[in-house]
Amino acid sequence: MKEFDFIRAIQPANLRQSHVIKGIGDDAAIVRTPYHDSILTVDTMVENIHFSRKTVDPFHIGWRALAANISDIAAMGGVPIAYLVSIVVSDNWKEHELIEIYNGMDELARKYNMDLIGGDTVIGQELSISITVMGTVAANGKRYRSHARDGDVVFVTGNLGGSACGLHVLLQDTGNSLTPFKDAIRKHQMPIPNVEFVERCASIKRMALNDISDGIASEANEIAKASNISIEIEPDKLPTHKDLEHFPSELQYQWKMSGGEDFELLGTVSLHEWHEIKKIANQIHVPITKIGSVHYHTERNGKAWIKDNNKLLRLEPTGYIHKTK
Amino acid sequence: MKEFDFIRAIQPANLRQSHVIKGIGDDAAIVRTPYHDSILTVDTMVENIHFSRKTVDPFHIGWRALAANISDIAAMGGVPIAYLVSIVVSDNWKEHELIEIYNGMDELARKYNMDLIGGDTVIGQELSISITVMGTVAANGKRYRSHARDGDVVFVTGNLGGSACGLHVLLQDTGNSLTPFKDAIRKHQMPIPNVEFVERCASIKRMALNDISDGIASEANEIAKASNISIEIEPDKLPTHKDLEHFPSELQYQWKMSGGEDFELLGTVSLHEWHEIKKIANQIHVPITKIGSVHYHTERNGKAWIKDNNKLLRLEPTGYIHKTK
């Protein structure tokens, strides 16, 4: 692979954002922050650990890696502006496959008018992709894990378990038609972060948000801990990806609770503002579901719980439920 | 290695910058940009490609990796604020060695009050470290490669060749004392980016800057190309690291011209402002040397040249000099 040809191939011809003052081509990039506050996040994906060529092609590797980072920006209340990509390339990857990785990122970036503003290409023994995303957020639009309060509604966008189900189907591939699972597969390969929903919620005064990268059990515990409240989830209310109906209920439960990588949002909001965000979600056709409530209870604070016939059972971050109170 | 213990060990106890609104601990970090414009850069270093345990210990790996990124921020005219570290860890690295890598970064970060605000720790087959640095720059303080103009003075900070000389000595290590080369070794292991000089030059109206990561021949060509001017360098004026005197003149020349990683600054400025920045450099004890001049000459624009007894010889980015005009 000729390094300069490759860099030329992945370099954007134009900038999309007026906020990007200097893109690729100097010592570093310069970005104007419309709201004065910048959001930064970085994630690294390593071949055979975070993805496998068996279940995702290069285009999807790029899409998913960028989606995971954009989802973090959304979960802080922000909108993404630009991204930088550092890639370690091993010699079992062909140039056109690497370009496809960048094409996958670019296809998603286009939805948000994001610019590729920098990066690095180095040689190594295994492919790894490190993406930094910069976004921006208004001073009163920040959505921290620590923002949950007693009495809040706990909600989730979209539905759960699709990504884990899609991965399962791709790994098990027995030669049968994958058509019945095409939505779940798409959810795994090309997840869509919830940027628009977060943007439209700019008028909401207070909201705790986490994106669902590690499964709802894990994210609920993180909010409970950061806000020092208890989160009670009603398991029957969890919205389930439709393709899960083909599988036994234990698998369904596991995928919904701890499958992860759905990149939906788990949030809490006051009852008053819950009616507001339901309206907003309806307007942009984002499904949103009330799945539980927030309580202040000194013995239960800092943890997530499952409501089971008026009993509260401890929900571990892993998705495991203690069968006694 | 227990992942959570490791993350706890590298997590900063306090924030240094009032600009950092949210550090590690949520979906992403939030940084307020004092000058409204953010600078972003990322670099990845892979074991046995960018560094070897033979010549740098873990502390220096961290220091150098961060220094290279800070140097890019300085070369844009900015000051660094915060950094994110994504590390791919292989199992031949012990936890205390990995912590030393972060200690090396932290020791350098402390000089600039920079905060570690995020990152990622993943497992892989080889160690690689990807650092993203965010800085800030005033609207009129940007220093692009494209800012050189006909008649400018070409200057360099500090001296050249030290890092390459230090690396050479460490690689050749014959068991003799390394004391005569300790400054060059330090320059290789613990380079200091020129942030203070750039900050003090805030009042300078126009300046082209590149940091010397790939050797002065390469950087001079980059400025010439971006500004569409010709850069003429007088080779006798290049400031030489003192430890180079122990080596033959061919090696000295090679290290000065294309050794790289000195992380000094190559710049151009009007003659009028040259007197200003000389004063500034003197005040903060940063050596600064005029090494050539900028010319507009349609046949020579876009390239760097060596002045040799009134003849101009083409200086390739690699440091190679064409012996005929």
Give the DSSP per-residue string, A183-222: HHHHHHHS----HHHHHHGGG-S--EEEE-SS-HHHHHHH
Candidates B20, B40, B129: best to mutate against A (most CBs of A within 10 A) is B40
Residues of A in contact with B72 (CB under 8 A): 27-28
Candidates A17, A27, A33: best to mutate against B (most CBs of B within 10 A) is A27
Q: What ipTM describes this predicted complex? A: 0.92
- Give the Cβ contact number of residue A20 at 10 Å: 22
The mean pLDDT value for A32-53 works out to 88
Residues of B in contact with A17 (CB under 8 A): none
Read off the pLDDT of residues A152-204 as tens digits, 9 standing for 90 and up: 999 999 999 999 999 999 998 777 788 889 999 999 999 999 999 999 999 99
Distance CA(B81)–CA(B70), nearest Å, equals: 9
Tell me the residue length of chain A: 325
Read off the pLDDT of residues B95-114 as tens digits, 9 standing for 90 and up: 999 999 999 999 999 999 99
Q: What is the pLDDT confidence band of residue B318, given thresholds at 50, 70 and 90?
A: very high
Kindly determine whether residue B27 and residue A125, on different chains, have CB atoms separated by under 8 Å. no
Distance CA(A35)–CA(B99), nearest Å, equals: 36
- Give the Cβ contact number of residue A177 at 10 Å: 7
Residues of A in contact with B40 (CB under 8 A): 28-31, 82, 84, 117-118, 132, 134
Q: Quick one: pLDDT at residue A38?
A: 93
Paired tokens of A235: 């398991």
Residues of A in contact with B37 (CB under 8 A): 21, 30-33
Paired tokens of B103: 């200690």
Q: Quick one: pLDDT at residue B4?
A: 63
Residue A311, SS3?
strand
Read off the pLDDT of residues B175-194 as tens digits, 9 standing for 90 and up: 778 888 999 999 999 999 99
Kindly determine whether residue A29 and residue B43, on different chains, have CB atoms separated by under 8 Å. no
Distance CA(A56)–CA(A63), nearest Å, equals: 10
Q: What is the pLDDT confidence band of residue B174, given thresholds at 50, 70 and 90?
A: confident
Strands A304-308, A230-233: pairing kind: parallel
Consult the annotation and say whether B240 binds a ligand.
Answer: no
Closest approach of B246 to chain A, Cα-based (Å): 33
Paired tokens of A113: 């008018």
Domains with residue ranges and CATH for chain A:
3-138 (3.30.1330.10), 143-315 (3.90.650.10)
SS3 letters across B20-79 = EEECCCCCCEEEECCCCEEEEEEEEEEECCCECCCCCCHHHHHHHHHHHHHHHHHHCCCE
Residues of A in contact with B75 (CB under 8 A): 26-28
| B30 → closest Cβ in A22, A76, A124 | A76
Between the CA of residue A143 and those of A219, B33, B108, B133, what are the distances in Å?
Answer: 14, 19, 32, 24
Kindly determine whether residue A36 and residue B36, on different chains, have CB atoms separated by under 8 Å. yes
The CA-CA-CA angle for residues A49, A52, A58, to 5°, reads 120
Paired tokens of B108: 């350098």
Distance CA(A285)–CA(A265), nearest Å, equals: 15
**Burial of A57 (C-beta count, 10 Å sphere; 0-12/13-18/19+):** middle
| B128 → closest Cβ in A118, A128, A226 | A128
Closest approach of A271 to chain B, Cα-based (Å): 24
Cβ A133 vs Cβ A67: under 8 Å: no
Strands B288-295, B230-233: pairing kind: antiparallel
Torsions phi, psi of A103, nearest 5? Answer: -60, -40
The mean pLDDT value for A59-80 works out to 96
Calculate the average pLDDT of chain B.
93
Paired tokens of B104: 């090396």
DSSP B100-123: HHHHHHHHHHHHTT-EEEEEEEEE
Q: Quick one: pLDDT at residue A3?
A: 63
Q: The dihedral of CA A21, A24, A29, A33: what is its sign?
A: positive
Sequence-distant (≥ 6) Cβ neighbours of residue A179 within 8 angstroms: none
Q: Quick one: pLDDT at residue A2?
A: 61
Q: Quick one: pLDDT at residue B324?
A: 66
Kindly determine whether residue A32 and residue B27, on different chains, have CB atoms separated by under 8 Å. no
Candidates A20, A130, A142, A228: best to mutate against B (most CBs of B within 10 A) is A130
Of A43-52, A63-72, A101-110, the range with the lowest mean pLDDT is A43-52
The mean pLDDT value for B206-225 works out to 96
Consult the annotation and say whether B119 binds a ligand.
Answer: yes
Residue type, B129: I
Say if residue A4's pLDDT is above 70. Answer: no
Q: What is the pLDDT confidence band of residue B139, given thresholds at 50, 70 and 90?
A: confident
Read off the pLDDT of residues A93-149 as tens digits, 9 standing for 90 and up: 999 999 999 999 999 999 999 999 999 999 999 999 999 999 999 889 999 999 999
Residues of B in contact with A123 (CB under 8 A): 46, 49
A37 membership: H or E segment, kind and range: strand A37-46
The mean pLDDT value for B209-217 works out to 95
Closest approach of A276 to chain B, Cα-based (Å): 24
Consult the annotation and say whether A206 binds a ligand.
Answer: no
Kindly determine whether residue B44 and residue A137, on different chains, have CB atoms separated by under 8 Å. no
Cβ B244 vs Cβ B255: under 8 Å: yes
Q: Quick one: pLDDT at residue B2?
A: 61
Say if residue B303's pLDDT is above 80. Answer: yes
Q: What is the pLDDT confidence band of residue B201, given thresholds at 50, 70 and 90?
A: very high
Read off the pLDDT of residues A299-316 as tens digits, 9 standing for 90 and up: 999 999 999 888 999 999
Q: What is the pLDDT confidence band of residue B173, given thresholds at 50, 70 and 90?
A: confident
For residue A234, which of A297, A301, A305, A160 has the smallest C-alpha distance? Answer: A305
Cβ A21 vs Cβ A134: under 8 Å: no
Distance CA(B236)–CA(B220), nearest Å, equals: 16
B216 membership: H or E segment, kind and range: helix B216-227
DSSP B191-209: ----HHHHHHGGG-S--EE
Kindly determine whether residue B25 and residue A226, on different chains, have CB atoms separated by under 8 Å. yes
Cβ A77 vs Cβ A209: under 8 Å: yes
**Which residue does chain A place closest to B47, by CA atoms?**
A124
What percent of chain A shows pLDDT beyond 90?
79
Q: Quick one: pLDDT at residue A10?
A: 83
| B126 → closest Cβ in A124, A132, A133 | A124
Q: Quick one: pLDDT at residue A308?
A: 87
What percent of chain A shows pLDDT beyond 70?
98
